[in-house]
């Protein structure tokens, strides 16, 4: 499967998981005699699961019963109905609807979405995980500029240039490092060029005419460097 298919499946599974959760919220709130529509809306609109957290901390701690006279929901410890005013002498419990299967559906959908993302990460040729630590790192990425500076780093730095209609034809680089060896690698299919930029001694122009239209991958290669500075731009 291509990357788009993996992403689409992950997205669909996440949506299904949330739908299970929203339906569970509605039915659980209904079982407790709460305003099910309001609490479901809070869970849906609450960012990053905050709405769900509020429901667990506030909503689910409330319990209601039905007034035997007017059948309106009232707090379970009420002595009088706040709707019709009748004394609560008989308790009419709210009919409980099963909700366990919705939680099971949510868990299964969520686990499948995580598994799908892992499968995407393993099979994707374009996805990379950069890990490491950097000291005094500053990185600026724009459409036509790539600037990096740091004292030391164990991270991997890479990006790409999209070449269209033989443009850009040239990449300009000004780079240096106080210690070690610094290289930049340009890759496109079977074309690969590695250039020493430990000290460009001013502006260094790199001819991109050997690369075809399409994506050119740039990778910064650090060999025990300290005090790295890179300014690259193209047009």
Each residue of 58-116: pLDDT tens digit? 877 776 666 666 666 666 666 667 667 666 655 555 556 778 899 899 999 989 988 88
Strands 228-234 and 145-150: antiparallel
Residues 101 and 147 placed together within one structural domain of the fold = no
**What local confidence, expressed as pLDDT, does residue 115 receive?**
85
Does residue 21 form part of some domain? yes
User: Residue 19: left (phi > 0), alpha (psi -120 to 50), or beta?
Assistant: alpha
Residues 108 and 169 placed together within one structural domain of the fold = no
Its domain, for residue 153, covers 134-234
Residues 34 and 138 placed together within one structural domain of the fold = no
Q: How confident is the model at residue 36 (pLDDT cuts 50, 70, 90)?
A: confident
Residues 152 and 183 placed together within one structural domain of the fold = yes
Kind plus residue range of the DSSP H or E element containing 214: strand 214-226
| Pair of tokens at residue 32 | 């407790």
**What local confidence, expressed as pLDDT, does residue 178 receive?**
95
Residues 44 and 140 placed together within one structural domain of the fold = no
């Amino acid at each position: 499967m291509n990357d788009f298919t993996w992403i689409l499946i992950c997205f669909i599974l996440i949506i299904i998981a949330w739908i299970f959760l929203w339906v569970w919220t509605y039915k659980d709130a209904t079982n407790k005699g709460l305003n099910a529509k309001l609490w479901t809306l809070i869970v849906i609109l609450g960012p990053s699961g905050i709405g769900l957290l509020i429901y667990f901390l506030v909503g689910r701690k409330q319990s209601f019963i039905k007034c035997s006279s007017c059948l309106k929901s009232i707090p379970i410890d009420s002595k009088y109905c706040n709707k019709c005013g009748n004394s609560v002498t008989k308790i009419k419990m709210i009919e409980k609807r099963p909700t366990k299967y919705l939680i099971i559906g949510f868990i299964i959908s969520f686990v499948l979405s995580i598994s799908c993302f892992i499968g995407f990460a393993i099979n994707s040729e374009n996805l990379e995980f950069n890990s490491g630590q950097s000291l005094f790192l500053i990185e600026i990425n724009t459409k036509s500029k790539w600037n990096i500076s740091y004292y030391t780093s164990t991270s991997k730095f890479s990006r790409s240039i999209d070449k269209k209609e033989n443009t850009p034809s040239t990449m300009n680089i000004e780079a240096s490092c106080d210690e070690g060896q610094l290289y930049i690698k340009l890759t496109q299919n079977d074309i690969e060029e590695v250039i020493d930029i430990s000290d460009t001694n001013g502006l260094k122009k790199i001819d991109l005419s050997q690369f075809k239209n399409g994506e050119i991958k740039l990778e910064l290669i650090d060999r025990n460097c300290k005090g790295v500075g890179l300014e690259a731009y193209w047009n």
